[in-house]
Amino acid sequence: MKAILSQPSLLKSQSYIGGEWVDAKSGKTFAVLNPSNGEHIIDVADLGADDTTFAVEAAEKAQKEWQGRTAKERATLLRRWNQLILDNQDDLATLMTLEQGKPFTEAKGEVAYGASFIDWFADEARRLNGDVIPTFAKDKRVLTIKQPIGVVAAITPWNFPIAMITRKAGPALAAGCAIVIKPSDETPLCALALAELAHQAGIPAGILNVVVGKDAKAIGGVLTGNPTVRKLSFTGSTPVGKLLLSQCAQTVKRTSMELGGNAPFIVFDDADLDAAVEGAIASKYRNAGQTCVCANRLLIQEGVYDAFAEKLAKRVATFKTGDGFSDGVSIGPLINNAAISKVEQLVGDAVAKGAKALIGGNKSTAGERFFEPTILTGVTEDMDIFSNEIFGPVAPLFKFKTEEEAVAMANNTPFGLASYFYSQNIARIWRVSEALEYGMVGINEGIISSEVAPFGGVKESGSGREGSQYGIDEYVEIKYMCMGGL
Ligand code: ADP
């Protein structure tokens, strides 16, 4: 395996704590497998609760010195890290395709996207200004400063093994925090490679720690229970997010939660249909449908329903499904067998209740964990697929009559992360944008994520924003200083 990396030292099997590569105290390891073919990639150290406590202590030891550095010093190190990530884009993408399955070109895109957060927050480090507030009394002055929150924990998922880490580590380190990262045990190799590059960039020992382990409950128990950890930033499923929120309540930690979505993608009669088809493809089929902002419900107005379905099917029919390293592949494997079963179940339920597979509808012959890119027509609100996050390459097409009905359908969910709609009518664009109960709205656009924009959800999709000028606020406390006796 090492042979295919130009920098073989990026393939790590140990965790990274206090600037050292460490085994689990228990001596345990577990296997990392390639979802495309089930092949064994490498065994990695399987850390547990004790190791995690050790990482929190290492972070605490290092954090004050880091906080005391100038913003410019921290920014310089972050820029170096960003550059090393970009310099090793191919190696990181190789690790990603191997352990996560996404097509290699998509993996390279994620590496660049992931790095952009470090670059962005390197700049933001120097703009953490406080205020001087007009006073409430003649002999007093009212000031604020922003200080790092301290030791931060990050628990991240497998669908973006690099970007979900940099979105948290970038602002945390920029603000002067130290971080302990628990990546998904499905994709530890990207996280460990990022740690190696942080090490090479000169990020001081203890400031960035990566704890890899299969026992998420034990590791999460320490990260949410240890009073030294002052903030948890989590990206993952809503049930786990709720559990972690309740655990964090015991020590009143700050939290950012980026949880599940159920994105509506609305196409009105007055839309540019070709643009809507392209947007739907970009939003739905990226990462084989395994993103929390993927279009989950395509709501199509009755006048253009058949035409839209036909155009979309024509494009989807050209997709190639297969191993992420094969030329021309746009749909890779799903992450594991459970993901395949879930998609099969949702499609089966819809078809049993009357939906039709216009294209696809079954497991693919490409391998055990591959599902055919699918379009379902005649889908209705009573089917399970309306209310469940699919996380697979399946586009269910719902029909609606009026704008009011579309907005009601779109909002008929406890989730509120991303939403999309296509219309050429400016009044409708304002009306619908304001009516959608979502943290993000793509208007005539299927790809909305960027380091410059605030990413996050409302309702049960979470709290807090990542990226943008607001992202760093999640990692600082505002201290009010009142100067009296003047
Ligand atoms: P996904 O469906 O994306 O795997 P999860 O919420 O299950 O979503 O996982 C997201 C992250 O949360 C992963 O790193 C996973 O290991 C971790 N995780 C899962 N269960 C727990 C738990 N009980 N405590 C702490 N972390 C957990």
At 291-330, the pLDDT tens digits run 999 999 999 999 999 999 999 999 999 999 999 999 999 9
Nearest CA to ligand 1 atom 27: 216
Whole-number Å distance, alpha carbon 90 to ligand 1 midpoint, is: 27
Residue spans of the domains in the chain: they are 8-259, 264-443
Ligand 1 neighbour 236 (Cβ under 6 A): yes
- Residue of 240, 259, 342 best suited for mutating to test ligand 1, as the one with most atoms within 8 Å of CB: 240
Confidence of residue 13 (pLDDT cuts 50, 70, 90): very high
One DSSP character per residue, 98-164 reads HHH---HHHHHHHHHHHHHHHHHHHHHGGG---EEEPPSSTT-EEEEEEEE--EEEEE--SSSTTHH
Is the predicted pLDDT of residue 3 greater than 90, yes or no? Answer: no
Confidence of residue 356 (pLDDT cuts 50, 70, 90): very high
**Percent of the chain whose predicted confidence (pLDDT) is above 90:** 99
Is the predicted pLDDT of residue 352 greater than 60, yes or no? Answer: yes
Which ligand 1 atom is the nearest neighbour of the CA of 182? 14
Whole-structure pTM over 0.90, yes or no?
A: yes
Report the C-alpha gap between 268 and 320 in whole angstroms: 29
Whole-number Å distance, alpha carbon 315 to ligand 1 midpoint, is: 34
Catalytic positions are 258
Ligand 1 neighbour 114 (Cβ under 6 A): no
Is the predicted pLDDT of residue 146 greater than 60, yes or no? Answer: yes
Q: How far apart are the first and last CA of the chain?
A: 68
Query: Rounded mean pLDDT of 115-139?
Result: 97
Nearest CA to ligand 1 atom 13: 184
Is the predicted pLDDT of residue 2 greater than 90, yes or no? Answer: no
Ligand 1 neighbour 216 (Cβ under 6 A): yes
Is the predicted pLDDT of residue 450 greater than 90, yes or no? Answer: yes
Ligand 1 neighbour 243 (Cβ under 6 A): yes
Class of domain 264-443: alpha beta
Ligand 1 neighbour 198 (Cβ under 6 A): no
Q: Report the relative pairing of strands 141-148 and 29-33 from DSSP bridges.
A: unpaired
Report the C-alpha gap between 32 and 219 in whole angstroms: 18
Whole-number Å distance, alpha carbon 391 to ligand 1 midpoint, is: 15
Residue 117: CA count within 13 A, CB half-sphere = 26
Ligand 1 neighbour 287 (Cβ under 6 A): no
Which ligand 1 atom is the nearest neighbour of the CA of 156? 14
Whole-number Å distance, alpha carbon 241 to ligand 1 midpoint, is: 8
Ligand 1 neighbour 188 (Cβ under 6 A): no
Whole-number Å distance, alpha carbon 379 to ligand 1 midpoint, is: 30
Which ligand 1 atom is the nearest neighbour of the CA of 240? 6
ipTM above 0.90, yes or no: yes
Whole-number Å distance, alpha carbon 198 to ligand 1 midpoint, is: 24
Confidence (pLDDT) at 4: 87
Ligand 1 neighbour 145 (Cβ under 6 A): no
Confidence (pLDDT) at 341: 98
Which ligand 1 atom is the nearest neighbour of the CA of 239? 6
Q: What does pLDDT average to over the chain?
A: 98
Nearest CA to ligand 1 atom 2: 237
According to CATH, what is the number of the domain 8-259? 3.40.605.10
Ligand 1 neighbour 242 (Cβ under 6 A): no
Q: How many CB atoms lie within 10 A of CB 71?
A: 17
Ligand 1 neighbour 261 (Cβ under 6 A): no
Nearest CA to ligand 1 atom 4: 157
Span 234-267, pLDDT tens digits = 999 999 999 999 999 999 999 999 999 999 999 9
One DSSP character per residue, 270-302 reads TS-HHHHHHHHHHHHHGGGG-STTSEEEEEEEG
Span 262-290, pLDDT tens digits = 999 999 999 999 999 999 999 999 999 99
3-state secondary structure of 257: strand
453: buried, middle or exposed (CB in 10 Å: 19+, 13-18, 0-12)? middle
Confidence of residue 333 (pLDDT cuts 50, 70, 90): very high
Confidence (pLDDT) at 1: 61
Which ligand 1 atom is the nearest neighbour of the CA of 241? 6
Span 35-81, pLDDT tens digits = 999 999 999 999 999 999 999 999 999 999 999 999 999 999 999 99
- Residue of 15, 46, 52, 155 best suited for mutating to test ligand 1, as the one with most atoms within 8 Å of CB: 155
Cα distances (angstroms) measured from residue 421 to each of 103, 258, 307, 386, 453: 27, 22, 17, 17, 18
Ligand 1 neighbour 52 (Cβ under 6 A): no
Ligand 1 neighbour 127 (Cβ under 6 A): no
Report the C-alpha gap between 187 and 161 in whole angstroms: 6
Hunting for tokens 């970007």 — which residue is that?
163
Is the predicted pLDDT of residue 426 greater than 70, yes or no? Answer: yes
